[in-house]
Chains A and B, each alone.
Chain A
Amino acid sequence: MKYNRAVFDGNIGFSSVIDEKFKTNSLVIRFITELSADTAADNAVAFGILSDTSSEYRTISELNEKLSMLYGASLSSSAVKRGDLQILGVRASWLSNRYAIDGEDITGEMLDIVCGCLFSPNAADGKFDEEAFRITKRDLLDKIESEINNKRGYALARAAEVAFSGEPAGHSCYGTKETAEKVTPGSAYKAYKRILEQAQVEIFYIAPEENPEVEKRLREQFAGLERSSKNNTFDSPSPLKSEPERVSEEFDVKQSKMVLAFKTESDDKPAVKLLSTVFGETPVSKLFMNVREKLSLCYYCASRTAGPKRALFVDCGVEKDNIGKAEAEILHQLDEIRNGNISDEELSSAVLSIENALRAVGDTPSSYAAWYFERFCENDMITPQEQFEIYKAVTKERIVAAAKSLKLDSVYLMLNKEVQE
């Protein structure tokens, strides 16, 4: 594997990973911008249009016709949240030229398509094309309304809203129904121009063979813009509420959901990660072994960290009548860790599980892109092996200290309407 990072003028990073084992080429372009209730929906609509059409391919079917001809190449966009930031991404993936039956230059054609979509969008007179805009806006509205379809995901999103209320991270990266309704072809185009000219950009190209044309072409395209971009702050610890806030909502569901949001002031991120792993990230974690296996209260009960916000979430699906019992057991298991009741086996299995995940970095193109993007955000360009050594050095005492620093911030409950009294 060969890794190289170049920096283009205008605060743009270009990382290339050449790994001959792959059969595909992947290009991931991430635009990093502040997450704001006012712009989230405009940004999301703009990026939706960018990956669906361009000035050359004016409709979704025209673009997809071309992608099909290129052996089912894919082109998509995304809007995700990382702490207080909105990460808008365009991702393309295609077969390496060596698999082209008819000898096409798939990479060259895909580069044309990606550059066309990003730099020559389906727009005129400062507005996106009305038809493409209408389809994408409705798609975003449907996506926002359909968040409730995934009950676990919805409960976690609502818990984040409650925990980070008043902070950018408390907003959805798609915006709300109300803000999405207000997006116009002109406002989405303005958002596109603003992001292109002001957002910090990180590009990742992962392929089996080198192709200098990719870097050259993207460097030229970005050089044609008048950019003024500032560096973002990736860490934004969330302040702890003076009293834990409890929010419950009723739905016509069979199973209730509970999400506990904790916050910490600890800067010891490796210890917090180990704490979360021992607490609830594996099938031998304290939550799995006790809340699920011993007490049979839940099918899932797990923890996860929200590193940039210094937060940790525990979520479970549970009978409404057992919510109190489940919460008590979750807090009891956290107390166990606070009291130092972590066996050598629990610690070593947590370390092994993390090592297992780190050693697999590089087995898929997306894992390379995710790894190097995370290193960029953390401003710490280390290898997975070096990262593992950092985790391995975490002692039980540091985990106990991290656990003691965790404070309950908020509780979100999705309650079964039928069993409500």
Chain B
Amino acid sequence: MENKILTSPRTGDSCIHVKHKSGLDIYICEMKGFSSVEALFGTKYGSINTMFKTSEDKEYTTVPEGIAHFLEHKLFENEDCDVFELYAKTGASANAFTSFEKTCYLFSCSKNYQESLKILLDFVQKPYFTKASVDKEQGIIGQEIKMTNDNPDWRVFFNLLRSLYHNHPVKIDIAGTVESIAEIDAELLYKCYGTFYNLNNMVLAIAGNVSADEVLAICDEYLKPCEDKGLETVFPDEPDTIVRSEVREAQPVGTPIFNIGYKCVPCMGRERLRKSMAASLAVGIISDASSEMYQRLLNEGLINSSFGTEIFSGDGYFSVIFSGESSAPEKVRDAVAAEINRVKNEGFGEKEFQRNKKSMYGSLIRELNNVEAVANLMINSHMDGVGPYDAIEVLSEMTSADCLEFIRTELFDDKLAMSVVEGTV
């Protein structure tokens, strides 16, 4: 086992990273003065991993859309009981989520964390799927899919992704469709479980009122050593063009909702962290609430306080998204594009850059103020291939030239798509 103490030079915060003999990466942050504990046990397996193989397989396997999410639901049933019944005995609040690139099982508690940790490690390593239990879940997830289909923020976002990406599975809905999940059976679930729920592909992050020694003793007892099976996931080739520049959908909403996205070049690891930060600072300078454009669009009645930006990136995708509500989204799109083109030519002031840099520094420090946020920071940064405190260091090295370069080399009018959800009468 390899133990490493990671420390933030700026705040003095620290956590322990252990490469456990079972193959699992473990992050532990003892947070003095806090009462609660947040633990996440996650695998690098999300909705985009629809095509994969291990060194034991000759061919790549392609699985139905939504299977990672389906598996997340089904893991909560043990052979003899429901996992929630076990947590009910400790008082912990348990949950799970599936995103594009990962599935995480988590609990938060303020008492009996050792018992809850044992439950977490145990059930995630013990799959149990039957035809009857798979059939039962189709109904529940079917309702979840219908619920998200009624969520206009969800629809406007996925419609944008389908306009930006031709082939990359980031465009598919995380839960799949009622039709795709009908193809899922117990055998397929075991196949996916065996491939992705290998401890070499997983991470445990735990923060708050914990003792590293206690956590590691429980891990030693509960983790079953895994052989690294050389997992490979592949994605179809993705052209750098967009699919369509505009998509609209009708739904019962108030003011129309929009997502405006630029398709950019994807990258991984520390380069992705750097690029995300440059992108975030750059779009902040252009459009955050302190910018000239934001105030102008407010004055013109084109946006309201819901206006915001997001840097959306992962394995094989990277985009910059402007979102909000507007009765004239096309005018917002044109204004954003015009401002980006103006900045390409004229640049921006060092003062604006420093202001946004300070603001981002503040938000990175604030993240360390909260048990849940620290646990998420540890697991997310590991999955992104960086350390939990790397962001503050990367930020300190960031210059206005980096931000300008991002705008000049990544944001182009022909890579711009707009998705709108507007009200039905």
- Give the B-binding residues of A (Cβ under 8 A): 19-24, 59-61, 64-65, 67-73, 93-95, 99, 101, 131, 135, 138-139, 142, 144-152, 251-255, 282-284, 288-289, 292-293, 296-300, 317-319, 345, 348-349, 352-353, 355-357, 359-360, 362-364
Contact = CB atoms under 8 A, between A and B. Distances in A.
21 contacts: A22-B369, A23-B366, A61-B292, A64-B288, A69-B355, A94-B362, A135-B299, A142-B254, A142-B325, A144-B254, A145-B255, A151-B147, A252-B250, A254-B149, A282-B88, A283-B94, A299-B141, A317-B143, A352-B90, A356-B91, A356-B110
B290 interface: yes
Given A99-B365, A319-B146, 10 more contacts: A59-B295, A65-B290, A71-B362, A142-B306, A284-B85, A299-B144, A317-B143, A356-B92, A356-B108, A363-B36
A363 B298 contact: no
Contacts of B254: 142, 144-149
Contact of A142 (B140, B255, B365): B255
B246 interface: no
Residue from the set B87, B141, B291, B362 with the largest chain A CB neighbour count within 10 Å: B362
B362 to A, nearest CB: 3
A296 B88 contact: no
A71 B304 contact: no
A364 B252 CA distance: 36
Contacts of A94: 362
B252 to A, nearest CB: 5
Q: Which 4 A-B pairs have the closest CB atoms?
A: A145-B254, A352-B91, A71-B362, A21-B33
B294 interface: yes
Contact of A319 (B34, B87, B143, B299): B143
A131 B299 contact: yes
A166 B37 CA distance: 44
A294 to B, nearest CB: 9
Contacts of B35: 359-360, 362-363
B62 interface: no
B248 interface: no
Contacts, number: 200
Contacts of A64: 288-290
Interface string B170-204: 00000000000000000000000000000000000
A298 B89 contact: no
B93 interface: yes
A276 to B, nearest CB: 16
B294 A61 contact: yes
B388 to A, nearest CB: 15
Contact of B150 (A254, A284, A298): A254
Contacts of B370: 363-364
B345 interface: no
A188 B390 CA distance: 47
Contacts of B257: 149
Interface in B54-91: 82, 84-85, 87-91
Interface string B321-361: 00001000000000000000000000000000001101111
A139 B298 CA distance: 10
Contacts of B365: 23, 71, 95, 99
B143 A99 contact: no
Interface string B257-296: 1000000000000000000000000000000111110110
A356 B301 CA distance: 46
B82 A293 contact: yes
A355 B144 CA distance: 30
A299 B149 CA distance: 13
Interface in B79-124: 82, 84-85, 87-94, 108-111
B79 to A, nearest CB: 16
Contacts of B151: 149-151
Contacts of A21: 31-34
Nearest to B90: A352
A417 to B, nearest CB: 9
Contact of B139 (A288, A296, A352, A359): A296
B357 to A, nearest CB: 9
B253 A148 contact: yes
Interface string B143-159: 11011011111000000
Contact of B253 (A20, A24, A149, A288): A149
A218 B363 CA distance: 27
Contacts of A142: 254-255, 304, 306, 325
A299 B140 contact: yes
Nearest to B254: A145
B91 A355 contact: yes
A360 B252 contact: no
Given A147-B254, A298-B143, A363-B371, A71 B88 contact: no
Contact of A353 (B85, B91, B153, B371): B91
Nearest to A294: B136
B295 A61 contact: yes
Contact of B294 (A60, A152, A282, A363): A60
Contacts of B208: 363
Given A23-B365, A345-B88, A252 B424 contact: yes
B409 interface: no
Contacts of B251: 252
A108 to B, nearest CB: 16
A372 B283 CA distance: 39
B369 A353 contact: no
A93 B90 CA distance: 34
A138 B301 contact: yes
B111 A68 contact: no
A148 B137 CA distance: 29
Contacts of A67: 290, 359
B140 A72 contact: no
A415 to B, nearest CB: 12
A283 B31 CA distance: 28
Given A73-B362, A251-B252, A284 B88 contact: yes
Contacts of B152: 149
A98 to B, nearest CB: 10
Contact of A99 (B11, B31, B294, B360): B11
Contacts of B94: 283
A288 B110 CA distance: 23
A359 B111 contact: yes
Contacts of A364: 369-370
A150 B252 CA distance: 10
B305 A139 contact: yes
A362 to B, nearest CB: 6
A20 B34 CA distance: 11
A389 B357 CA distance: 48
A67 B34 CA distance: 28
A230 to B, nearest CB: 33
Contact of B304 (A93, A131, A138, A251): A138
A351 to B, nearest CB: 8
A400 B152 CA distance: 41
A59 B341 CA distance: 25
A23 B252 contact: no
B294 A299 contact: no
Contacts of A24: 366, 369
